[in-house]
Structure 1
Amino acid sequence: MGKTADLTAVQKAIIDTLKQEGKTQKDISERIGCSQSAVSRHRSGKSVGRKKCGRKRCTTRRGDRTLRKIVEKDRFQTLGDLQKKWTESGVETSRPTVYRRVQEMGYRCHIPQVKPLLNQKQRQKRLTWATEKQHWTVAQWSKVLFSDESNFCMSFGNQGARVWRKTGEREMPTCLKSSVKYPQSVMVWGAMSAAGVGPLCFIKGRVNAASYQEILEHFMLPSAEKLYGDEDFIFQHDLAPAHSAKTTGKWFTDHGITVLNWPANSPDLSPIENLWDIVKRKLRDARPNTLDELKAAIEASWASITPQQCHRLIASMPRRMEAVISAKGFPTKY
């Protein structure tokens, strides 16, 4: 039987018990799965832990704490920056050692999430808004018709594509990914509620107050009719200039539609943003090559969204309020 690792406390206790029962050294070793010499060393009191192999750790706990403070002071530093500042603090070490220590602390290098910049006033408004709405039920949120615009780029479906090639084929035409300076794109308006989604509107040109009111007239009202029928609803949109124009406000007043007050720079609070992400993920498989194909793929992806998906997103609204309150107005994971 080969050598084994150091005996555990349980194995040592078993050896003592079996020895008292009169078992032989061979029987004991077979019983606990170790060598006879390990049993003998334990019985003779010569069983000691193995000496640690490898090079001695070149940094101290105090030095490691210093590195942690350096990392937490600025999370966007490169490995070279961390090494330089750690050296300046009195710890001479290599880049690989810095990397290992950072890994030991639980840090991993990731692509950062991109969130809108929020100033103190905006964070306070988000916090106040979430506090006011924290007791809203899912039934109350189901009365809200969420809307938004999103831009879809022609090259979107090819982002992240990989190619199989051999050494020396880097510049081969069949292995190249084409790019254009100004790729074609389309702006889309849509609306959703707990009951499902409304019809899409493909926007031509820039959105101003007049064109936005046309969208409301020809697409928002049909969406509300489809999703709510004769029931009352609350309309939601963000604070884009066309949305917050006085003439747009008058349009809502004339039509007797209640508009939900909304904090600025808060896409994480709108569940329709999650639907746009779903559509864009599906476009990666569609890979449209023309503007008409892009529009067709968007419409097909939008039509495939089920009422169940929409209801789950609306049901997340109370949790979104809790997240904003916990984050004290800062961006959340949603």
Structure 2
Amino acid sequence: MDYRLLLRKWNDGESIVKRIIDVGFFKNEELATILGTSKRTIERIAADNTESESDEAAGREEALSRSPLKHWSDEDFAEVIKECEKDTGFVSKASLRAQFKRKTVDISEEQLGKELKKRGYVYRKKRVVLQLTEAHKEQRMSWARSLIDSDIASWIFSDECYVHLFRNSNLCKEGINATIEEPINWKTSIMIWGGISIVFGKMLFIKKEKYAINAQVYIRDILQGYIEPLDGDYTFVQDGATAHTARQTMEYCRENGIDVKTQSPKSPDLNPIEMIWANLKRKVEKRRPDSKAD
């Protein structure tokens, strides 16, 4: 490579020389010969480069030592985070900075990031937690206890799932209950009904167009389409959705010998098919499809 041509092409020739010096492929004499300049010029650029790096490192150390949060305890820091969460419902560096400014503490995002890391805050995907009352908790526990001695090999765990094409995972701090309300665009979602069983395997029903489920539709598409044709004894497990527990649906199950168990309310985590839905949604999000056809 003709380094002299390179220097003529770039306006800031010395910055290019500094990069070449950093690589360390050439001694100063060799580099001076290649570039057609004196050894003293190369030494001067090398010295300036070293001083610049030292000044930059010293500047970083000085900035850290001047951090306005240097003497803040972890408890005080955590209290500000709680206040920020109370105001906005979500904690980010920007909102946290604004909260500190209210306390007359001016801190840069870079310093704030270092403080967060030093105090053990890390980024993670927000988690969805069910809002459970004491009554819900008792119902969940009673339902689980009643099934302890049951043989679930022939059980069919079922559930509907809506997969949204433009799902977005936000990041929040570990230990912070960060939630964001997002409007759901049903035009960009696909409805999937699924059932899984150790004995009967898996079954899927997919609808790409707008699809409303009521008792008649549930009986026609799911019970008659997938459950009734099964041979052998089974227990059909479903959640408490209106279409599932409607009088018409329950009467149909009794008249046609379908053994049904309805999960306790607010208990999607007690259904193993939820793990399949979570994995499916992660894969769709990773692919980022542009349309339902994708």
Q: TM-score, normalised by structure 1?
A: 0.50
The higher-RCO structure (CA 8 Å, 6+ apart) is: 1
Residue identity opposite 2:265 in structure 1: A
Shift of 1:92: 5.0
Contact 2:161 2:277 in 1 (8 A): yes
Aligned to 1:48: none
Whole-Å separation in 1 of the counterparts to 2:200 and 2:280: 14
Residue identity opposite 2:217 in structure 1: S
Aligned to 2:216: 210
Aligned to 1:258: 259
> Which residue, 165, 176, 195 being the options, matches 2:199?
195
Deviations along 1:190-218, one digit per CA (max 9) or x if unpaired, are: 21112353443345742111121122022
Shift of 1:83: 2.9
Please give the root-mean-square deviation of Cα atoms over the aligned residues, in Å: 3.7
Whole-Å separation in 2 of the counterparts to 1:256 and 1:235: 11
Aligned to 2:181: none
What is the DSSP-based 3-state SS (H/G/I as helix, E as strand, rest coil) of the residue aligned with 1:207? Answer: coil
Shift of 1:249: 1.4
Query: Is the counterpart of residue 142 in structure 1 residue 153 in structure 2?
Result: yes
> Which residue, 51, 70, 80 being the options, matches 1:70?
80
Contact 2:156 2:200 in 1 (8 A): no
Deviations along 1:76-107, one digit per CA (max 9) or x if unpaired, are: 22323323433545655444322221111111
Whole-Å separation in 2 of the counterparts to 1:265 and 1:234: 21
**For 1:139-178, what aligned pairs fall within 5 Å after superposition?**
140-152=151-163, 156=165
Aligned to 1:30: none
Contact 1:146 1:192 in 2 (8 A): yes
Aligned pair in 2 of structure 1 residues 275, 94: CA closer, same or farther (>3 Å)?
A: closer
Whole-Å separation in 2 of the counterparts to 1:146 and 1:129: 15
**For 1:213-224, what aligned pairs fall within 5 Å after superposition?**
213-214=219-220, 215-222=222-229, 224=230
Shift of 1:287: 5.8
Whole-Å separation in 2 of the counterparts to 1:136 and 1:144: 14
Whole-Å separation in 2 of the counterparts to 1:286 and 1:110: 20
Greater strand percent: which structure?
Answer: 2
Deviations along 1:260-303, one digit per CA (max 9) or x if unpaired, are: 23122332221212223444556666969675xx6xxxxxxxxx
Residue identity opposite 2:79 in structure 1: K
Identity fraction in percent: 24
Aligned to 1:112: 126
Structure 2: which 5+ residue stretches go unaligned?
A: 1-59, 169-184
Contact 1:63 1:91 in 2 (8 A): no
Aligned to 1:36: none
**For 1:1-334, what aligned pairs fall within 5 Å after superposition?**
54-55=61-62, 56=65, 58=67, 59-72=69-82, 74=85, 76-89=90-103, 91=105, 93-119=107-133, 121-130=135-144, 132=145, 136=148, 140-152=151-163, 156=165, 183=187, 186-195=190-199, 197-202=201-206, 205-214=211-220, 215-222=222-229, 224-225=230-231, 230-231=232-233, 233-280=234-281
Q: TM-score, normalised by structure 2?
A: 0.56
Structure 1: which 5+ residue stretches go unaligned?
A: 1-52, 161-180, 295-334
Deviations along 1:42-63, one digit per CA (max 9) or x if unpaired, are: xxxxxxxxxxx93335434544
